[in-house]
Amino acid sequence: MRDDASAQERSDVPAGRSPRRAVKIVSQAAVLAVVAAATSAFAVMHKQVTVDVDGRTVQVEGFGRTVGAVLAGAKIKVGDGDLVAPTLNDPVTQGEQIVVRHGRDLDVVVDGKPDKVWTTALTVGEAIDGMGLRDGDVRLSASRSAPLGRDALRVSTQKTIHLVVDGQMIDGVSSAGDVRDALKDVGLVLNEGDQVSVPLDATAVDGLVVLVTRAQTDAQTKTEAVKFDTDEVDDPGLTKGQKVVVTKGKAGVRTTTYQLDSVGGVVTDRTVLSSVVTTEPVTQVVHIGTMEMPDPSSITVAPGSAKAIAKGLAADRGWGDDQFACLVSLWNRESGWRVSAANPSGAYGIPQALPGSKMASVGADWRTNPVTQITWGLGYIKSRYKTPCGAWAHSQSSGWY
């Protein structure tokens, strides 16, 4: 006689399959599910990325969810003060472009004063940009394009020199390193025997007052400095309130000829025969910024995006949130920040280089690499417009940059 419970138990097992066999299949399915999940996690964690380390591009394969984890796995060390774009805590995706700039202390001598500045720059020009100094406002001991070395970088900044001469005050602008060259920049011609209140080889500093005492002479000609005028011009290419000396003023020279009357070899009287400006003064032109900048607080930057990379690289050039806001507006208009943005004119990429192949000067991967495109674009802006806001202002007025 059959046990009904046993019969029922056997009836739940598919024909031709024993209960023990069914349990085994279920166990195998569970194991496969775990393996599949682990494989999926493995695939998600495994990344192939491009890392630009101090200008040298390397391909990295590693595991990790964040930029920091991938760099650590590749044994690329990053310390405090180093530049990393995207940031260490940002999530990293397959094919990510990562920029790493290792910082160091740079010895500089600014207007005769030794100092140290922390920089992640690769060239002299980038280091100067990071110090917030404008082109044309400084004189350097090395070419801007030269790589940073270990020797101290000597920098002479633009300063105002107050020159008291020939009964007048002349406020000149110069980026010379010493008083002698500063006086030349201002246009002062020293005559034999003239004396100055500061040694000519002294370091020129901002606000320096130099008193020139003319030598007494009985000569029939005399030269005097002619003060220059200053014009202020509104400039929509500069941010509101910013002042930039576009043309440095230079004193002219007036030559006066006298008739000398003498008695017994002693001059008793002088009569002016002629007085001519033999060297015309150069008017100093100062541009006053009027441009209202985009609001930096309105800019959102997604981690790992081209904008995030650009923000880091712009900061490395000394451009803060205000300049980055102009850059965002500029490239929003030009390309929408798309790496593959192409124009029938031949312009290509995020900065819309024309032709796009110009960007090959930075890297052979210019068609697909946002780091290469952004690096080229920032260099172009710097060389042509000085700042992103300068490029944005030109784009607003002319429709291109």
Q: pLDDT (tens digit, 9 = 90+) per residue, 379-388?
A: 899 888 888 9
Q: Which of 43-52, 97-106, 211-220 is predicted least confidently?
A: 43-52
If you classify domain 104-157 with CATH, what class do you get?
alpha beta
pLDDT greater than 80 at residue 265 = no
pLDDT band at 318 (very low <50, low <70, confident <90, very high): confident
Cα–Cα distance, 381 to 392 (Å, whole number): 10
Q: Which of 368, 315, 399 lies closest to 83, judged by CA?
A: 315
Cα–Cα distance, 303 to 68 (Å, whole number): 13
Whether 174 contacts 204, CB under 8 Å: yes
Q: Could you tell me the fold of the domain covering 159-290?
A: Resuscitation-promoting factor rpfb fold (2.20.230)
Q: Tell me the β-bridge partners of 157.
A: 138
Which carries the bigger pLDDT value, residue 218 or residue 316?
A: 316
Reading the block at residue 254, the tokens are: 């007036």
The reported pLDDT for the residue numbered 137 is 76
pLDDT greater than 60 at residue 259 = yes
Count of C-beta atoms within a 10 Å radius of residue 299: 15
Average pLDDT over residues 308-319: 89
Top-ranked range on mean pLDDT: pick from 130-139, 155-164, 386-395: 155-164
Average pLDDT over residues 118-137: 79
pLDDT greater than 70 at residue 92 = yes
Residues of the chain within CATH 3.10.20 domain(s) are 104-157
Whether 264 contacts 242, CB under 8 Å: no
Top-ranked range on mean pLDDT: pick from 38-42, 183-187, 311-315, 368-372: 183-187
pTM of the predicted model as reported, rounded to 2 decimal places: 0.60
Q: Side by side, which strands form the sheet with 284-291?
A: 230-239, 284-291, 243-247
pLDDT in tens, 327-359: 999 999 999 999 999 988 889 999 999 989 899
The reported pLDDT for the residue numbered 3 is 45
Residues of the chain within CATH 2.20.230.10 domain(s) are 159-290
pLDDT greater than 80 at residue 37 = no
pLDDT band at 18 (very low <50, low <70, confident <90, very high): low
